[in-house]
Structure 1
C-alpha cells in the first residue's frame, strides 16, 4: 500500500496487521482519477479510516485538510505513523471513536470517504453523512456487491470493480426519508 500520485507519490503506508480491509490500489487509482478535479483545496473526511489511505491520498493530491475517524486504536496508531511520515500533522486530525458517535465533533466537508466493514449496514450513517457535506460536496462509499444496504438510496453514480461497489452521493440524500 502506497501513495499513488501527488507530492508524496510512491511513499509506502503502514497498514494494520488485522482488522482492516484496505481499498486496493486499482480501485483507489480509478476513484481518484475520477474525482481529481474536486480535490485541490478541499476539506476531506475519511470514515472507518484504517491506515488513512484515502484521506492521505487526497492530501497528497492537493486537499487542504483531512479529518480521519477510526475506532480501533491499533489502526489509529498506524494512521498517526503515516501522517507523521508524510509530514501532514498540520493538515490532519484524527478522532478515535465510533463513526456514529463522532458527528457532533465535525463540521462540513467537500469530500467524505466511507470504507466500512463490508458486513456493516451503513444506510443510516450514509444519510447522516450527507448532512456534513458542503453544498457541492460528495460522499463516496465502498461496499461489497453482496451488501445491498445502499441500493435503495438515490445515488448519483455507481461504479463496480469485481466484488466491490463504489457509490457516490450528494447533499440531497440528507433530505431523504429512505
Structure 2
C-alpha cells in the first residue's frame, strides 16, 4: 500500500496485507484509491481537496486521509477505535511527518462528541456488512463534524442508503467496492 499522488506520492504505508478481518481492517486498494482521487480531482465535484479540512471516519490505516493531505488538504481528523488500526495509523502519520496537520480521535464513529471544527470533505469506510455507515454519518452531522455543502465519499460493499440531510451525487462500482458520493445540504 502506498500514497498514489501529490507531495508524498510513491511513499509506502504500513500495511495489513490483505486485511485483518478480526480487526475489521480491509484497506482500500491502491487501484480503488487512484480511481477515487481521479474522480475527486476531475472537476465534477469542484475542487474538494485543496486546502480542505478532512474527516476520515473508520480511518483504519489512514490511507484515504493521508492521500488527501498529500494532494493538498490542509488538515485531517482521523476517527478510529481499533487497537491494530490505531497502531498502523500512528506509524503512517509519523513516517510521512504529518503529525502537525492531523488529529487522531480514538472513538467509536457512531458515538462522536461535539466537533471543534467542521470538515468540508468526509471519507467514510465502515466495516462491510455491519450497518455502521448511516449511524456514523448521523452522529457526525449531529455533532457538527460535517460542514454545510461538504462532500461525503462513502466506501462500502453496496451503494449507500443515505441518511437525512445528504443528497446523492454519484455512485461507482469497483469490483466488490461501491463508492457513493453525496453532498450535505445545499451549500454547493
TM range (shorter): 0.7 to 0.9
Contact 1:16–1:74 (CA under 8 A) maintained in structure 2: no
Q: In structure 2, how many angstroms separate the alpha carbons of the residues matched to 1:24 and 1:9?
A: 15
**CA RMSD after TM alignment:** 2.0
SS in 1 for 2:136: helix
For structure 2, the 5+ residue unaligned runs are 42-46
**Deviation larger for 58-67 or 11-20:** 11-20
SS in 2 for 1:170: strand
Q: List aligned pairs for 1:9-28, cutoff 5 A.
A: 9-16=9-16, 18=20, 19=23, 20-28=25-33
For structure 1, the 5+ residue unaligned runs are 174-178
Contact 2:124–2:154 (CA under 8 A) maintained in structure 1: yes
> In proportion to residue count, which structure has more helix?
1
Q: In structure 1, how many angstroms separate the alpha carbons of the residues matched to 2:176 and 2:95?
A: 32
Q: TM-score, normalised by structure 1?
A: 0.87
Q: In structure 1, how many angstroms separate the alpha carbons of the residues matched to 2:117 and 2:52?
A: 13
Q: How many residues align?
A: 171
Runs of 4 or more above 6 Å deviation: none
The structural deviation recorded for 1:106 is 4.7
The structural deviation recorded for 1:142 is 0.5
What is the aligned partner in structure 1 of residue 34 from structure 2?
29
Q: TM-score, normalised by structure 2?
A: 0.83
What is the aligned partner in structure 2 of residue 70 from structure 1?
80
SS in 1 for 2:150: strand
Question: Structure 1 residues 26, 161: CA separation in 2 closer, same or farther (over 3 Å shift)?
Answer: same
